[in-house]
Structure 1
């Protein structure tokens, strides 16, 4: 194909509300470095990290829930307002989810890859590895431009071939949320056990239900009452209303693993619900990052707490395998043209949906 010199894209021009998202039709098309590929984006999913990065929620100066500052935060320390703790470079094209087709390659990449249908790794190894920090990594849409555009460039290893009859929209619902969920389950070594999943109606939570039941787990899901039937249909054996008293609704010491995306005021209950020797894993804190812990519960019950951000390469490879073998299925709540990104993000924050919201750039 003839690659245009300019493209349509959404530029994030600074931390703040959706007014910081600038839809443009004259953005220079990315050029590829020697080890890169250029991907024509077919679709790109919306994720919590897009909102968190835009509003600066990752800054340690912010202590509230993610939806509390969806219109912008006044007290953000911009020096640490990204998940990696380094200042964001503006303008930035966000979008951690990418499904598309390779249309150009760098000099060091096999030209036979042109035409490949690919998913972009949302989380990639840092381009300059630090032996002192083996967990160093970066994400599309944060440390590098991402998928809210007609084209995006990425390292060749980050564009993973996928052979599936799913649509671009369905595939774009997977990379960030589902790899996050898979990484959490691998980090906590989840098997055929009793698992509690919080935030179960969101992209990561709904993926965690499918991926945990795929492992033979018995899953109890926590979500809003209006979403209970849809969450149960994903494979949850029991669904609990997020507004219930969890310690009243569930038995103490009854779970092997808690997979948590919520944190907030309910966090102490999770420690009580875990059996002695149980494991807790988290990759989000949508209800607020500051929690209370009774250290006696932690050590007297021999609990293990896991944080899960960095993803070993096999996490994404395994996820693509599940997709190709139809061992999991996509859950797309709605699609939007890229020009409607502000509406899509507002709808995302409102959380009236189950699953993923996906943006489609113009062709």
Structure 2
């Protein structure tokens, strides 16, 4: 599946490409599962065209399946092994994907390919996003945009990490109840309102959404509170969003962005391996919204754009 025309989901189309050959340092993976991420929809919209994404781009950053071939310099023992793989900023919506050997990870025998792509990237972002916020046990946490795969993992990790309260913003009571089962203690609407006896303020806010409403959430930080944007599914915040922090100078609040690209490969690999093992033991729950065939990517993006997805949509070639 490639982006033939930037804009709506209908710009995605099936394309017939020759089977790739892994270059030096790469492996070829017969994909069994492909994760559909929020960044895929942002790229497809054309919002990141200025960053070098061109029409014809194949979306998808993570896949899972079986290694079928290796390039020069790669140990041939990888062939036949089930792995999770990171393909970068694209190249995943395919039947056969290439990935650098340093960006693949063997899967526990009890972890499915579908679970792997549901957890692989989102779990790492949630883990290091909380670390970037200097989250500590006993603190109050708000996860803004908690129904997506990153938000769901942030809820679980904050709860497991000893948060005094884990509040979430979401769009419906039904989603709120599902998030409570995953560790949320308070359910708020998208504006951050509601939630009986919800904390008056938060020590940490993990924001997956960004967008025009992001500055209003600065008001919900406690003194010395930290807000970390780990995504921008609603687009960029207003250009003057920093004035909110400056207006509350004496509260010593802070704002930061977080990208997993800023974490060393070794650290990402170690955390991902731990999370895969925890998921295989049932200690972390992976939430799959729906399985669709590879040519169902248009429908997947339509559902993402409509805000219908709880967890992750996975394509199964």
Matching of residues 125-136 of structure 1 within 5 Å: none
Equivalent residue, structure 2, for 1:88: 53
CA RMSD between the two structures: 2.2
Equivalent residue, structure 2, for 1:285: 232
- Asked whether the equivalents of residues 182 and 319 of structure 1 are also in contact (C-alpha less than 8 Å), the reply is no
Q: Deviations over 1:164-207 (max 9, x none)?
A: 41222222212232222223122223231211101011121111
Taking the aligned partners of 1:16 and 1:298, their CA distance within structure 2 comes to 38
TM-score w.r.t. structure 1 length? 0.78
Alignment counterpart, residue 190 of structure 1, candidates 105, 129, 135: 135
Q: CA deviation at 1:284?
A: 1.9
Equivalent residue, structure 2, for 1:36: 26
Equivalent residue, structure 2, for 1:17: 8
Equivalent residue, structure 2, for 1:140: 89
Matching of residues 297-336 of structure 1 within 5 Å: 297-309=247-259, 310=261, 311-313=263-265, 314-326=267-279, 327-336=283-292
**1:107 equivalenced with 2:63 (yes/no):** no
Pick which of 195-204 and 266-275 moved more.
266-275
Equivalent residue, structure 1, for 2:244: 294
Taking the aligned partners of 1:172 and 1:244, their CA distance within structure 2 comes to 30
TM-score w.r.t. structure 2 length? 0.89
- Asked whether the equivalents of residues 169 and 191 of structure 2 are also in contact (C-alpha less than 8 Å), the reply is no
Structure 2, unmatched stretches of 5+, are none
Equivalent residue, structure 2, for 1:67: none
- Asked whether the equivalents of residues 16 and 54 of structure 1 are also in contact (C-alpha less than 8 Å), the reply is yes
Taking the aligned partners of 2:224 and 2:192, their CA distance within structure 1 comes to 26
Taking the aligned partners of 2:143 and 2:305, their CA distance within structure 1 comes to 20
Question: For the structure 1 residues 316 and 305, does the alpha-carbon distance in structure 2 shift closer, same or farther, using more than 3 Å as the test?
Answer: farther
- Asked whether the equivalents of residues 259 and 281 of structure 1 are also in contact (C-alpha less than 8 Å), the reply is yes
- Asked whether the equivalents of residues 123 and 275 of structure 2 are also in contact (C-alpha less than 8 Å), the reply is no
- Asked whether the equivalents of residues 199 and 260 of structure 1 are also in contact (C-alpha less than 8 Å), the reply is yes
Taking the aligned partners of 2:245 and 2:181, their CA distance within structure 1 comes to 37
Corresponding residue SS for 1:294: helix
Equivalent residue, structure 1, for 2:148: 202
Matching of residues 38-187 of structure 1 within 5 Å: 38-58=28-48, 78=49, 80=50, 86-121=51-86, 139-141=88-90, 145=91, 147-187=92-132
- Asked whether the equivalents of residues 212 and 219 of structure 1 are also in contact (C-alpha less than 8 Å), the reply is yes
Taking the aligned partners of 2:75 and 2:177, their CA distance within structure 1 comes to 47
Question: For the structure 1 residues 91 and 268, does the alpha-carbon distance in structure 2 shift closer, same or farther, using more than 3 Å as the test?
Answer: closer
Taking the aligned partners of 2:192 and 2:220, their CA distance within structure 1 comes to 14
Equivalent residue, structure 2, for 1:136: none
Taking the aligned partners of 2:112 and 2:40, their CA distance within structure 1 comes to 23
Taking the aligned partners of 2:235 and 2:100, their CA distance within structure 1 comes to 34
Taking the aligned partners of 1:298 and 1:38, their CA distance within structure 2 comes to 52
Structure 1, unmatched stretches of 5+, are 1-9, 59-77, 81-85, 123-138
Question: For the structure 1 residues 246 and 315, does the alpha-carbon distance in structure 2 shift closer, same or farther, using more than 3 Å as the test?
Answer: farther
